[in-house]
Structure formats: structure tokens, C-alpha cells
Structure 1
Amino acid sequence: MGNTWFGVAACVDQASIGVVEKWGRFYGLAPPGLHFFNPLAGECLAGVLSTRVRSLDVRIETKTKDNVFVQLLCSIQYRVIKENADDAFYELHNPKEQIQAYVFDVVRALVPRLTIDELFEQKGEVAKSVLDELEKVMGAYGYSIEHILLVDIIPDAAVRRAMNEINAAQKLQLASVYKGEAEKVLLVKKAEAEAEAKYLGGIGVAKQRQAITDGLRENILNFSHKVEGTSAREVMDLIMVTQYFDTIKDLGNSSKNTTVFIPHGPGHVRDISEQIRNGMMEAASGQAP
């Protein structure tokens, strides 16, 4: 519904306030409802102001401390103060232009002190500074500033591309660091695993050789006790020849093996037994105190 008045009567809608004049001078405020005036006494309803919250979007272009041109979109919510509606009616002809001018002034004084990164981080402080300044100024004209929101910060397109490239390069650098650390860990773990495998393999070989040595010693002792007149060397030669022929037999039974034969014969077995015997004697002499 709109506000209506007919000479001696007027109806002021809810969320509105009427301004009453008498002989051209401010006489009083008319709250929502039906009001009667005396035209003979010079009374009339000069105008009606809405007390609803209004919104004003202001787009500002300015430059930051690091010479980056940006556009800022501010949204200002304001309303008429009912008690001071006469100031709002008589003092300002165009409140939107007044608010916009003060927003331009405050933002262009504050933003050049900040870098582009600081502006993004401190946009709440920028909005608060604009709010504080507008409250002091517009309050004297009968307007209350409810909220100010810094809705958007839009750098130049070239600056946005550069910022995205910088961010991408930093992410790639960080990814390379993490990848290098991961590869380092894998190499270290692999080296530790190889060292552990070689260590365990060495222990296994040592135990195997110890078991072979113990078995040969036991066989030699048993054979010497059971067959009188045989020496340990003869028994050792017999065991080596037996193992030699067992190996030849195994190679012959396996058709899938690829085998390289070298000159060999029973005489070579004796030479091998001599080498083994000498090695065992040298090891035993080395352990002797």
C-alpha cells in the first residue's frame, strides 16, 4: 500500500514515518496510521520516509600498496532513524550519493596501505573502517548504517593469472619436495632390507657350512671307528667321490638344466678334497690360542 493524504486527512503506512509542516516549517513527525490536518492553520503532510532497511551496492576501483589495481564491491545496508526523520528529510537531497562518496573516500584512503594479499586477509577490517566512518557522518543526517559487507575483491585479469601461476608453481615445488622425501624413504628402506637380507643370508650360509662340517666330521669319526685301519683322509676322499658321482647323476637326470662342463675326473675330486682339508686345518690353527 502507498501513503495517501487528502487535504485534511492522511494515512501513513507501517514501516514509514510522515513529516508534518505548518506554514512551511517543520511541525512534527506522523507515525503510521490515520492523521487529520487543519489546512486553515497551515498544517500539511510534507512527505513520507520509509524506515525499512535499504541496500546500496558500491563498486570501487583502487590500487593496492604493491601497485595492483582491484575492484571492490561493497554492500551497505542503511535505514532512516525514526526519531531523526526530519534530519533525513531536510538535510540530504540524495542520501545514496552521499553514502557512495564517503565509501569511496574511506576505501581509497585505506586500501593503498595494504598489499593484495593483506587486502584479502583483512577485508573484514576494511569493512569495519568504512562502517565506523559512515556511522559518524550519516548519523548526523538521520541515517543509521546497519551493516557493511565487502562482498567481492576482483583483481585485474592479468594479476589473477599471475597469482594462479605463482600458486601452481608453489604447489608443484611442494609436491616435488614430498616426492623426493618419499623416494628417499623408499631407497633407505630398500637399502636396509638388502643389508638385512645379506646379513641373514650370511648367517644362513655360515650355519649351512657349519652343519656340513659337523656332518662330515661325524661321518668320518663313525667310519673310522667301524672300519679299522682307515684314516680320516681316506674317509674324506671316499665321501667327496661319492658326492661327486651323486652330483653327476643329478645333472644327468634333469633334462631342463643348462650345464657347462669343465675338465673333470676322479683326480680332480682328490684335489678338491686337498683344498678343503687344508682350509679346515688353517681355520683350526687360526682359532687355536
Structure 2
Amino acid sequence: MTAYGYEILQTLIIDIEPDQQVKRAMNEINAAARMRVAANEKAEAEKIIQIKRAEGEAESKYLSGLGIARQRQAIVDGLRDSVLGFAGNVPGTSAKDVLDMVMMTQYFDTMRDIGASSKSSSVFIPHGPGAVADVAAQIRNGLLQAHQTNA
């Protein structure tokens, strides 16, 4: 057009029609990019789900531990009150005698519960006149060792 005195600076080209193979290749590139983004988003969602599940499990275990600690504290408080009350009301008994009696009672309650449960399996525990005293001594020693460890 310069031969006629015109100079073309810009032109608007519309409705470009590339070859079908070029169109297909461009579409595949776009689809792959979208699939990559979708895979990243899905992985992030799964990561968040796992993190939330782990946080929930940790919170559950923490609260369960608090519940067990409170339950044990209530048992200790109840035993202390029982021992002090019994030793105070029955002359000639010591706190150790009362604790031995409480241990025996708990031992027999446990044996009854094991026997009464339909889903329990066999438990072999030595039985004899000295067995209960041995069990009570083992429990007492365990409690004393735990107390010394915590002190």
C-alpha cells in the first residue's frame, strides 16, 4: 500500500481459523492446565481433612485423659474419706487394715464382674489364702512406687 501512499500501522484480525490439529493441541494444553489445578486443589482438600481428623483425635484423647484423671481423683478422694471414716469409727483399726479391706472388696467386685460378663474370656489368677494378700501387696507397692516417682 505504500506504493499508493498508504502506510498500515495496525489492523484488526477477527475470526482466525487455525488448523484442526493446532486447535486440538491448544485445547489439550488448556485441559491439562485445568486438570493440574484441580489435582492440586483436591490434594489440598485431602490434606486439610487429614489435619482436621488428626486435630479432632488429639482433642478427643486430651479430653479422655482429663476425664480419666478426674475419675481417678474422685476415686482417691472417696477412698481417703472411707479410710478416715472407717478408721475413726472402728477403734483398733489402722488405715492399712482399711485399705486392705477395700482392696479385697474391689478384687472380689472385679472377679464378679469378669464372671458376669458374657463377653469375657477366661482369666487365670492365683487363688488361695495368701493370693488376695499378695494382690493387695502388689497393688500397694505399685501405688507407692508411682507416688515416689511423681514426688
| TM-score, scaled to structure 1 | 0.44
Q: CA deviation at 1:258?
A: 2.9
- Which residue does 1:126 correspond to in 2? 12
1:168 to 2:54 alignment: no
- Which residue does 2:83 correspond to in 1? 220
Q: What is the CA–CA distance in structure 2 between the aligned matches of 1:251 and 1:286, rounded to whole Å?
A: 31
Bigger radius of gyration: 1
- Which residue does 1:191 correspond to in 2? 54
Check 1:193–1:210 CA distance in 2 against 1; reply closer, same or farther (3 A cut): same
Q: CA deviation at 1:217?
A: 0.9
Q: What is the CA–CA distance in structure 1 between the aligned matches of 2:68 and 2:43, rounded to whole Å?
A: 37
- Which residue does 1:262 correspond to in 2? 124
Q: What is the CA–CA distance in structure 1 between the aligned matches of 2:68 and 2:135, rounded to whole Å?
A: 20
Q: What is the CA–CA distance in structure 1 between the aligned matches of 2:31 and 2:85, rounded to whole Å?
A: 79
Q: Which moved more, 1:165-174 or 1:263-272?
A: 263-272
Q: What is the CA–CA distance in structure 2 between the aligned matches of 1:189 and 1:281, rounded to whole Å?
A: 40
Q: What is the CA–CA distance in structure 1 between the aligned matches of 2:59 and 2:44, rounded to whole Å?
A: 22
Output the amino acid matched with 2:127.
G
| TM-score, scaled to structure 2 | 0.80
Check 1:163–1:220 CA distance in 2 against 1; reply closer, same or farther (3 A cut): same
Output the amino acid matched with 2:123.
F
For structure 1, the 5+ residue unaligned runs are 1-105, 111-124, 128-149
Structure ranking higher in helix proportion: 2
Q: What is the CA–CA distance in structure 1 between the aligned matches of 2:109 and 2:38, rounded to whole Å?
A: 60
2:65 to 197, 202, 208: 202
Check 1:263–1:275 CA distance in 2 against 1; reply closer, same or farther (3 A cut): closer
Q: CA deviation at 1:277?
A: 2.8
Output the amino acid matched with 2:119.
N
The SS at the match of 2:17 is: strand
Q: Is the 8 A contact 2:114 2:120 kept in 1?
A: no
Q: CA deviation at 1:286?
A: 4.8
Aligned length: 142
Q: What is the CA–CA distance in structure 2 between the aligned matches of 1:158 and 1:286, rounded to whole Å?
A: 77
Q: What is the CA–CA distance in structure 2 between the aligned matches of 1:210 and 1:268, rounded to whole Å?
A: 28
1:274 to 2:137 alignment: yes
CA RMSD between the two structures: 2.4
